[in-house]
Amino acid sequence: MRKLVVGSRRSKLALTQSQQFIDKLKEVDPTLEIEIKEIVTKGDKIVDKQLSKVGGKGLFVKEIQHELFNKNIDMAIHSLKDVPSIIPNGLTLGCIPDREVPFDAYISKNLTPLSELTEGSIVGTSSLRRGAQILSKYPHLQIKWIRGNIDTRLKKLETEDYDAIILAAAGLRRMGWSDNIVTTYLDKDILLPAIGQGALGIECRSDDEELLELLSKVHNENVAQCVTAERTFLSEMDGSCQVPIGGYATMNSDKQIEFTGLIMTPDGKERYEHTIQGTNPVKLGKEVSRVLKDQGAYEIIRKLNEEN
């Protein structure tokens, strides 16, 4: 196998999860020579604005995809929730490895439970999806925008006027943070995850057969089926960072997939949600999309996309 170059964002989390995936590849073939090329994306440069205001998901992948097309790198290791539902021609998701915990982690001052936060308490999140779901269940709370890496957000919880923050549990786990810092993990009944949350997507050129053969050895087909249902729903709904959209699929021992899709208004006052079971992930994603559109959910998306 030739020497491989992996493209990764420069953030601590991106570099850490890239190295963890490289280690997994080397378990398959210890002779592999792999180096990481750090790439600064537009999303990394914009730290003072909400991503929903400046372009959303593609902000973290376009520069990396450009490097793939130019053959400066052989593969990119993405957090799948950052990857738009449409992959450019010539590129492919060559592998979906094992999924980390897909839920969100709630971290509060003094370990105060979410249900016990008092009127006007401030919850920090940069996600419209998280904010909308919190407001729908706890309308007496305030949502305040927060950005930065995990360390930065935890520091802001200590030093600024936040009473709690919400982060993806997967990032905390991959960075080695102890469960002790988490007040509680919010399951899908409280906070439905983002599309693909906790999963990685390994992107490469579609014609790189040698690499695709290697990647197939660390591919998790059950996870791939689940995230296919989620990403199909995202595509069908024209979902973006401008829209509070969630989706989560699981597979049982009989290979039955259960998928739930969610669309909300940012203020949490309108909620469209549907759950379905079956074996074809693409059909499941499309069917949940159809049901929510029939209920009127697409009007929310249309309005939000027009405003942005």
Instruction: Write the DSSP assignment of 152-165 as a string of letters.
Output: HHHHHHHHSS-SEE
Active site residue 82: yes
Cα 76 to Cα 78: distance, rounded to the nearest angstrom: 6
Question: Would you call 174 exposed, middle or buried from its count of C-beta atoms within 10 A (0-12, 13-18, 19+)?
Answer: buried
Cα 44 to Cα 285: distance, rounded to the nearest angstrom: 30
Is-contact 219 96, C-beta < 8 A?
yes
Q: Which long-range contacts (CB under 8 A, 24 or more apart) does 269-275 make?
A: 269/135, 269/136, 270/300, 271/136, 272/296, 272/297, 272/300, 273/192
Strand partners, 203: 76, 93
Cα 106 to Cα 158: distance, rounded to the nearest angstrom: 14
Confidence of residue 308 (pLDDT cuts 50, 70, 90): low
Identify the CATH homologous superfamily for domain 2-95+198-218: Periplasmic binding protein-like II (3.40.190.10)
Residue ranges of domains in the chain? 2-95+198-218, 102-184, 234-305
Average pLDDT, the chain: 92
pLDDT tens digits along 212-262: 999 999 999 999 999 999 999 999 998 666 789 999 999 999 999 999 999
Q: Do the domains 234-305 and 2-95+198-218 match in fold? A: no
Cα 11 to Cα 44: distance, rounded to the nearest angstrom: 8
Cα 75 to Cα 55: distance, rounded to the nearest angstrom: 24
> Is the predicted pLDDT of residue 37 greater than 60, yes or no?
yes
Cα 99 to Cα 193: distance, rounded to the nearest angstrom: 13
What CATH architecture is 102-184?
3-Layer(aba) Sandwich (3.40)
pLDDT tens digits along 257-282: 999 999 999 999 999 999 999 999 99
The domain made up of 234-305 has a fold known as Double Stranded RNA Binding Domain (3.30.160)
Q: Are strands 122-124 and 142-144 parallel, antiparallel or unpaired?
A: parallel
Cα 24 to Cα 38: distance, rounded to the nearest angstrom: 19
Which amino acid is it at 55?
G
pLDDT tens digits along 103-133: 999 999 989 999 999 999 999 998 999 999 9
Nearest C-alpha neighbor of 210 from the set 116, 75, 305: 75
- DSSP per residue over 48-69, as a string? SS-HHHHTGGGGGTHHHHHHHH
Strand partners, 259: 249, 276
Nearest C-alpha neighbor of 94 from the set 103, 83, 102, 104: 83
Residue among 74, 82, 163, 208 flagged as catalytic: 82
Q: Euclidean distance between the first and final Cα of the chain, in Å?
A: 46
Q: Which pTM was predicted?
A: 0.91
Cα 301 to Cα 244: distance, rounded to the nearest angstrom: 9
Which residues, other chains included, contact 31 with Cβ-Cβ below 8 Å and sequence gap of 6+?
A: 1
3-class state of residue 104 by DSSP: strand
pLDDT tens digits along 165-197: 999 999 999 999 988 999 999 999 999 999 999
